Amino acid sequence: MEQRLQGDESGWWLLSYAGKLWLPKGEIPHGLASEFGLRNESAHRIGEWQSESVWLVCKEQAREMASVRQLLDEDRGLFQLAGRAVQLEEFYRAHKFCGYCGNKMHVSDREWACLCNHCRQRYYPQIAPCIIVAIRREDKILLAQHNRHRGGIYTALAGFVEVGETLEQAVAREVMEESNINVTNLRYISSQPWPFPHSLMVAYLADYAGGDLKIDKSELLDADWFHYDKLPQLPPPGTIARRLIEDTIALCRSEQY
């Protein structure tokens, strides 16, 4: 999977370092490796987009390194590959030495893994599952302002899955902890890799089952039940949170409240 570039390889070039990508003029470089001075660099072919190879080169450029967030409005497939590039670079850089025996590791040529030369331990990139849930109560939806979000956006509740917990248990626990609400009729909708830094968002719709809204101030600034046609500022289109909110609005409308 890792190869030394000759210069005549072509495609999309994802140069990544420390969670950032090289985006000259805000775009992903496209063309021959030699056009971008990448001859003799080591590269990983990490996928295909528009029938052309997408390459990861673990390298920092002096200028125009930017966050993957800049690609949020791009095609979903391209955003996913950019997220893959950033996470793999982070993984390779953090796994040069074995955590068990301290010896040097090498990158596997069969899969996205690092292998210990000494004790044969095998490491894979870490993915952190995270649930996100839109909760409906008749013609209203529960939306919250998170401490970690800037700009007054109200969104669905979300949280990381803990070790030894099912996704369903994580939803019930997170919602109870953050809002003191019980939910029922949990329905899986979709998932989305979210490379900030290495989450997999697992999205659900749910219905209100009981409890008075009481927020956890350490996690949320505010939360409330909003009528579906009087909504506050929502997360941007393209996010899974927005999709869940739109789905809930459609459900409210279809039942003609």
For Zn ion, the binding residues (CB under 5 A) are 98, 100-101, 116, 118-119, 121
> Closest distance between Zn ion and the C-beta of residue 101, in Å?
3
Sign of torsion, CA 183 156 68 219?
negative
* C-beta closer to Zn ion: residue 100 or 188: 100
The backbone torsions φ and ψ at residue 125, rounded to the nearest 5 degrees and listed phi first, read -60, 140
* C-beta closer to Zn ion: residue 103 or 169: 103
Residues of each annotated binding site for Zn(2+): 98, 101, 116, 119
Residue whose structure tokens are 């001075």: 37
Q: Which helix (H) or strand (E) holds 9?
A: none
For 109, residues 6+ apart whose C-beta sits below 8 A from its C-beta are 1, 2
CA triple 139-143-146, angle to 5 deg = 175
Contact 155, 234 (CB under 8 A): yes
> Closest distance between Zn ion and the C-beta of residue 107, in Å?
15
* C-beta closer to Zn ion: residue 69 or 120: 120
Residues of each annotated binding site for a divalent metal cation: 158, 174, 178, 219
The CA distance from 155 to 197, in Å, is: 19
* C-beta closer to Zn ion: residue 123 or 228: 123
Residues of each annotated binding site: 25, 69, 98, 101, 111, 116, 119, 124, 158, 174, 178, 192-199, 219, 241
> Closest distance between Zn ion and the C-beta of residue 117, in Å?
8
> Closest distance between Zn ion and the C-beta of residue 102, in Å?
7
* C-beta closer to Zn ion: residue 76 or 106: 106
Dihedral, 79, 83, 89, 95 alpha carbons, nearest 10: -160
Residues of each annotated binding site for substrate: 25, 69, 111, 124, 192-199, 241
Q: Which residues pair with 208 in a beta bridge?
A: 183
> Closest distance between Zn ion and the C-beta of residue 121, in Å?
5
Could you count the other beta carbons within 10 Å of the beta carbon of residue 7?
14
The structure tokens listed for 202 are 């697992």
